[in-house]
Structure 1
Amino acid sequence: MSFSSTAGYLARRAAQKERVRILYRRALKDTLNWAVHRHLFYKDASDLRERFEANRHVENLDTIDKLIENGEASYDKWRHPDPYIVPWAPGGSKFTRNPIPPAGIEIIYDYGREDH
């Protein structure tokens, strides 16, 4: 193997490892959307890890690419339709709860020290 082919091989493997890592994290976080209780989540997370570990020792680059594509397609198919969003994040239940008042509204911050 020449240096350029070795560098290409290593670059492709690094890209594949990154795609697998991202897919696993996204799937694991999405598992929390489906499992209401932690004891259910732990079982689902363990099953997910087993699915990834089953293909850990595959060496053929084309086979790995196909497995990643199948995994991403499966993730897109089974993704939760209404994922949990933390309240203060965009789309969360508290995001912009107190929006900026429209122009023309004056806010007085004297908190009870008004002149009578």
Structure 2
Amino acid sequence: MSSATAAYLARRAAQKEKVRILYRRALKDTLNWAVHRHLFYPDADALREKFEANRSVEDVETIDRLIADAETKYNTWRHPDPYVVPWAPGGSKFHRNPTPPAGIEIIYDYGREQNE
């Protein structure tokens, strides 16, 4: 295998990875716009059709341009306040009751100690 072929294959692999990551991010962001599944499915199908329309493109320069255009469009239409699971980092319940600092003893049965 020549170095040109290896470079071409490496570039195509990197492009495929970029497209995969972009599709996943766009799909997850689509769920931010339509939280209910019955609203999400048509939007997800439309997104998939947009990606599938350019599946047969082989020119690496054209693919790079399409990826750049798609990332620009994605950044334009990203949700300003994405949904975060409440107990996940960034969620409303994440670390709501943090563990107390070292040296503080918590007695859960205060006033109900066993009389021995």
TM-score (normalizing by structure 1): 0.89
**Cα-to-partner distance string for 1:35-81 (whole Å, 9 max, x where unaligned):** 13211100000000000000000111000000000101111110001
Distance 1:104 1:40 in 2: 51
Show the 5 A alignment for 1:49-88: 49-88=48-87
* Alignment partner, residue 108 of structure 1: 107
- State the identity %: 77
**How well do the aligned residues superpose, as a CA RMSD in angstroms?**
1.9
Structure 1 CA distance for aligned equivalents of residues 18 and 7 of structure 2: 17
Opposite residue 71 of structure 1, the aligned amino acid is: A
Task: Confirm whether residue 33 of structure 1 aligns to residue 27 of structure 2.
Answer: no
CA distance in 2, matches of 1:77, 1:83: 14
Query: What letter matches 1:65 in structure 2?
Result: D
Deviation at 1:103, TM superposition (A): 6.4
Residue equivalent to 1:9: 8
CA distance in 2, matches of 1:3, 1:79: 41
Consecutive unaligned residues in structure 1, runs of 5 or more: none
User: Structure 2-normalised TM-score?
Assistant: 0.89
Secondary structure at the residue paired with 1:41?
A: helix
Q: Distance in 2 between matches of 1:111 and 1:50?
A: 63
One-letter amino acid matched to 2:96: R
More divergent stretch after superposition (97-106 vs 22-31): 97-106
Partner of 2:93: 94
Task: Give aligned pairs, total.
Answer: 115
CA distance in 2, matches of 1:74, 1:81: 14
Q: Where does structure 2 lack aligned partners over 5 or more consecutive residues?
A: none
Report the AA paired with residue 40 of structure 1: L
Report deviation, 1:110. Answer: 3.9
Instruction: Please report how far the alpha carbon of residue 102 of structure 1 lies from its aligned counterpart in structure 2 after TM superposition.
Output: 4.9
Residue matched to 2:21: 22
